[in-house]
Amino acid sequence: MKPSSRAVHAGRDLGARSPLAPDMSPASVHVFIDLDDYDAVARGEKPGYYYGRNSNANREMLERAVAELEGAEAGVATASGMAALHAAILALAPRPATILATRELYGGTAALLRQDLEPNGYEIHFLDLTDLDAVRRSVQGAGLVIAETITNPLCRVPDLEAIASMTRERGVPFLVDNTFATPLLCRPLELGATAVMHSATKYLGGHSDLVAGVVVGDTALIAAARARVARTGTPLGPFDAWLALRGLRTLDVRMRRHSENSLALARALHGMRGVVRVYHPLLEGGNRLLAQGSGGMIAFDLDGGREAVQQMIKRFQLVTFAASLGGVETTVSYPEITSHRSMSAEERAELGVGPGTVRVSVGIEDPDDIVADFAQALS
């Protein structure tokens, strides 16, 4: 099956009289009449569910679907993308180790590494993963490498395949945050990554109505992540899993439209008043890792800093300011006070994120309407 068809059907096993859309299963606990039967289900030797923190039908269906789309053996769905990251990192590097992470990392991930892992003995090095010589120099002795398929917010695309070949050679696990690209545009496991995580809050769900995360990888890794998620109490709830799976069914058509619209807006922004720089993964030509498009994420720098950004936001008629991304509607975010607020101004400046930097999550509206709203707001 092609990936677009897989998105429509993944994770389910329909038989005669099955519901076409999955039933909701909110039960926190299932009853048993046979102690051996319970024991076998709890050990995972028999199919079934016993307690909601450990397993649930809706969660399991989403996990299977994302694993199938990413080409993974298994997946575990968590209460948020951050919970997925935490579970993935600790499954890949359970004891204090050196973690190499992309310099241009989602601020929440950077905060997790610095505020939760560093005080527990992990050493964190941030580096530019598009500089392969720097990666080569640093990877020896590392315990984990973390990359984002498309960086947040400046939309750069590291060569995941080259990084994966370096990490594999040295036996270093490689975790990719594939939130911005989704498995329809990039499948990092096929490029050699060890595990992939998503904030399913974004494109997988796609409708700004849930918070969720998923980690996928091989069976042993996911068993370790799942056990930790159960112990720490961070699994995804049934209704959010149901919603995420419902969103996933239209992922292909949404990602195609996001990709077309983001390119149209990036091109149009170039000529708009006050726009000094536009960041889009494919604006300067194709990228072999994103052959089908790059989704809806772009960024631009506006002359006039925070005040100019504020004026633009006030004038929008269609676009809204919202500190998330990946929904059907076009939104802008201001990294200085949203995704990158945990960094100092100096750290942001080093990355190239300044007071005029705006991140756009380009939605699936008509591209003419999106471009017109930016044009009038910046005029």
Ligand X SMILES: Cc1ncc(COP(=O)(O)O)c(C=O)c1O
Active site residue 106: yes
Secondary structure class of 102 (helix, strand, coil): strand
Active site residue 202: yes
Of the listed pieces 76-84, 89-97, 165-173, 231-239, which binds ligand X according to CB under 6 A?
A: 76-84
The nearer residue to ligand X, 201 or 261, going by C-beta atoms, is 201
Active site residue 136: no
Could you give the string, one character per residue 90-119, with x where binding to ligand X holds by CB under 6 A and - elsewhere?
A: ----------------x-x-----------
Is the CB of residue 181 less than 8 Å from the CB of residue 149? yes
The Cα–Cα gap between 76 and 62 comes to 9
Decide if residue 182 touches ligand X (CB under 6 A).
no
- Are β-strands 320-321 and 331-333 bridged in parallel, bridged antiparallel, or unpaired? parallel
Decide if residue 361 touches ligand X (CB under 6 A).
no
For residue 377, give the nearest of 309, 324, 322, 323 by alpha carbon: 309
Of the listed pieces 36-44, 78-86, 256-264, 371-379, which binds ligand X according to CB under 6 A?
A: 78-86
Decide if residue 294 touches ligand X (CB under 6 A).
no
For residue 153, give the nearest of 334, 326, 275 by alpha carbon: 334
Nearest approach in angstroms of CB 67 to ligand X is 18
Of 11, 213, 247, 293, the one binding ligand X (CB under 6 A) is 213
Residue ranges of alpha helices (H) inside the chain are 3-9, 35-42, 57-70, 81-92, 107-111, 132-139, 160-169, 182-185, 219-232, 238-248, 251-269, 305-315, 345-351, 367-378
Q: What Cα–Cα distance (Å) separates residue 303 from each residue in 45, 206, 269, 339, 360?
A: 61, 31, 13, 21, 16
Catalytic hit among 6, 103, 156, 202: 202
Catalytic hit among 38, 49, 51, 53: 53
The nearer residue to ligand X, 41 or 211, going by C-beta atoms, is 211
Catalytic hit among 6, 64, 106, 334: 106
Of 55, 182, 194, 201, the one binding ligand X (CB under 6 A) is 201
Is the CB of residue 250 less than 8 Å from the CB of residue 241? no
Of 10, 66, 92, 211, the one binding ligand X (CB under 6 A) is 211
Decide if residue 199 touches ligand X (CB under 6 A).
yes
Active site residue 177: yes
**Which two tokens mark 82?**
């951050």
User: Which residues of this chain interact with ligand X, rule CB under 6 A?
Assistant: 80-82, 106, 108, 148, 152, 177, 179, 199, 201, 211, 213, 339
Residues acting as catalytic residues: 53, 106, 177, 202
